[in-house]
Amino acid sequence: MDTANHQTTESEPSLQDDVAKNKFFKAKDGRGRDVDGLWRRNGRYYAQMNIPGKGPRRISLMDENNEPVTCLQAAKDALHELRKNRREGEMPAPRRAPLFTDYVKEYLKLVEKTKKPKTYSVEKSILNGWVEHLGSVRLTHITRREINTRVLARKSTSVGNRTVNMDVLVLRNLLKHAKEEGWFHGKLPTDGFKPLKYQAPKRPLFTKEQIEKICDEAIEKKPDGKPRYKNGEMLRDVLRLMRTSGARITSALATEWVDVDFERRQLNLRKTKYDKAITVDMNSELEAHLRDMKGRRVPDDGGHLFPGTRSEGNVGSLRKTFELVRDAAGLPGFHFHDCRHHFISYAVMSGIDLMQVARWVGHYDTTLISRVYGNLSAEHSRRAAKQISFEVSPEKLAQGNSPASGDLSKFSVEDLMKALQQRIQSGGTQAKAA
């Protein structure tokens, strides 16, 4: 079967989806109809056939030169030849599972192009640890006992539960991928693994004054008038942007001036987690900071708010300066993410609707806001406690945007929260007036 110069008369379907998702898709012809027995994945074609004693298998289709078939018509021809051989009693030999170490190399080559560099780097490191543990074990011979042995070994070296859980999660991802390729049938050795108990430590809530102390230290000068820290002014601007917008460090550094809309008073964030579109409505401090930065804008910034970081594409160029500055300011426990924590916590304490806060910071719902970021200051908690009244009638609580019925069981959680927020805010207004 000569496929080298074969020209198909059918329009080839796009292969972008299966390359991006790294999964099997049913092969389709030029009219969008399924081609019986043909599958495609990462630009290659596979035939699905029953192997005696093995059940259904997806067999990679190869041409005469033993190269993977990547053309639809060539795949059809190869499938026809394969079926002919089956009728004549010639079946492809059952595959022997690869060594775990070899499969890891193959898997990493595939995911390198589909995952973010940081994620890929973490997974590669973890899988290399599994290679050291499993050695030359064949992929399908991995057992739960071997996984448990690895977990115990990691725990014996004082590795945290969260890290151990991540180790098993990455291995599970690889094994699920192997199952999609037909190497596993039924349960995987990682199925049913119960993650070790882990409780994230509570992040401290830093005040505006503390963060500004770091900003002031960042622009300190030497006795000769020269800046004490490299990129000090840029670091200050980044911290203030994060503190007043809730942006993560990667989003802050990637911001361009086209993302700043003073007319609509909005800041559009890029390079967000999961590439989600996030728009932050400008509060007064955020707007003032952005206008101040615009007044100091240099002509050759390339359209970037922080042009010195555009070549690195990450926080690397600022991290060393940041660590020096925060230590000098007497706040060694402060991290970039504490600016985001500050923004969310103070937005909650200001009585902003949780759904609105979630939209500003790119969360899908209010659950994480309430559980992780809602650690309010002791002073705010005491003020809130004073506002509690056990004499509030259902009818009075129902006023405003809440349901008209006095039956609390009919209120949604969102409506109850809105009603309570309105009451707290009105109580604060009355107190100020008094």
* Residues 6 or more apart whose Cβ sits within 8 Å of residue 193: 144, 147, 168, 172
Question: What is the pTM (predicted TM-score) of this model?
Answer: 0.58
Q: Candidates 1.10.287, 3.30.9, 1.10.3470, 1.10.150; correct CATH number of 100-180?
A: 1.10.150
User: CA 233, 234, 239: angle at the middle one, nearest 5?
Assistant: 100
Q: What is the pLDDT of residues 261-283, one digit of tens each?
A: 999 999 999 988 878 889 999 99
Where residue 390 falls among pLDDT bands split at 50, 70, 90? low
User: Mean pLDDT across the stretch 397-426?
Assistant: 55
Residue 92: its pLDDT value, please? 55
Burial 363-402 (b: 16+ CB within 10 A, else e): beebeebeeebeebeeeeeebeeeeeeeeeeeeebbeeeb
Where residue 312 falls among pLDDT bands split at 50, 70, 90? very low
Q: How far is CA 265 from CA 268, 285, 295, 355, 404, in A?
A: 10, 12, 17, 19, 35
Report percent pLDDT > 90 for the chain. Answer: 41
Q: What is the mean pLDDT of the chain?
A: 80
Q: What is the pLDDT of residues 184-222, one digit of tens each?
A: 877 899 999 999 998 877 778 899 999 999 999 999 999
Residue 107 has pLDDT above 90, yes or no: yes
- Parallel, antiparallel or unpaired: strands 25-28 and 34-41: antiparallel
Tell me how far apart the alpha carbons of residues 94 and 85 are, in angstroms, rounded to a whole number: 15
Asked if 358 and 343 count as a contact pair (C-beta separation under 8 A), the reply is no
**CATH 1.10.150-classified regions of the chain:** 100-180
Least confident of 107-116, 230-239, 295-304, 383-392: 383-392
**CATH 1.10.443.10-classified regions of the chain:** 208-373
Tell me how far apart the alpha carbons of residues 431 and 24 are, in angstroms, rounded to a whole number: 64
Q: What is the pLDDT of residues 22-65, one digit of tens each?
A: 678 889 888 889 988 898 887 888 888 776 666 677 777 877 66
Cβ atoms < 10 Å from Cβ of 110: 14
Cβ atoms < 10 Å from Cβ of 271: 17
> What dotted CATH number matches 208-373?
1.10.443.10
Residue 133: its pLDDT value, please? 94
Cβ atoms < 10 Å from Cβ of 64: 10
